Amino acid sequence: MTFPRNVGQIPIYYNDYATGRFTNKDNNVFWSHYSDVEKTPLYPFGFGLSYTSFEYSNLKINKKSFAKGESAQVSVTLKNTGKYEGKEVVQLYIRDEFASVVRPVKELKGFQLVNLKPGETKTLSFTLTDRELGFYNNNGDFVVEPGSFKIMLGGSSDAKLAEEFVVM
């Protein structure tokens, strides 16, 4: 669930469609009818409170170009940088940059719950297949179209760590 800063932002959600509206310096597409407050949500989708902090790094994709039917292996390193043991839900979002049908700006395609002790580091892996990369077109057919994709990883829909790849 996404929590707005004020009622002028309602409805607000992470997986909206690209509208051509302006974005801020962080490329944030959330908006409100107020010009005197931030346009970001108070708590983005997937946000969780913790007694510790986490750092995401080393995002890798096994190849930069894939054929339809091939799977992409994505990995990321997560480190507990705080003083306490804690749990984090690592979330993988994807964006189909150019499709024949308007696609959401971000779609949640995978997540993992991880428990880390202070200073502990763990590398997590995700597999992207046609199931995650495809969509239903206007005829009701499930298709995987060639094109550019962007993946984003983080602890919420405000994920900043990003990488790109192409499906041929």
Confidence of residue 136 (pLDDT cuts 50, 70, 90): very high
Residue matched to tokens 């499906």: 167
Tell me the mean pLDDT in the region 26-53: 77
> Are 67 and 110 found together in one domain?
yes
Q: Can you give the residue range of the structural domain that contains 35? A: 1-45
Same domain, 124 and 155: yes
Phi-psi region of 69 (alpha: psi -120 to 50; beta: other; left: phi over 0): left
**Do 69 and 17 fall into the same domain?**
no
Q: What is the pTM of this model?
A: 0.87
Same domain for 39 and 88: no
> How many angstroms separate the Cα of 60 from the Cα of each of 33, 37, 126, 150?
38, 36, 10, 12
Domain count, the chain: 2
What value does the mean pLDDT of the chain take?
A: 90
Render pLDDT for 99-125 as a digit per residue (tens, 0 to 9). 999 899 899 999 999 999 999 999 999
For the domain that residue 132 is a member of, what is the CATH number?
Answer: 2.60.40.10
Same domain, 58 and 79: yes
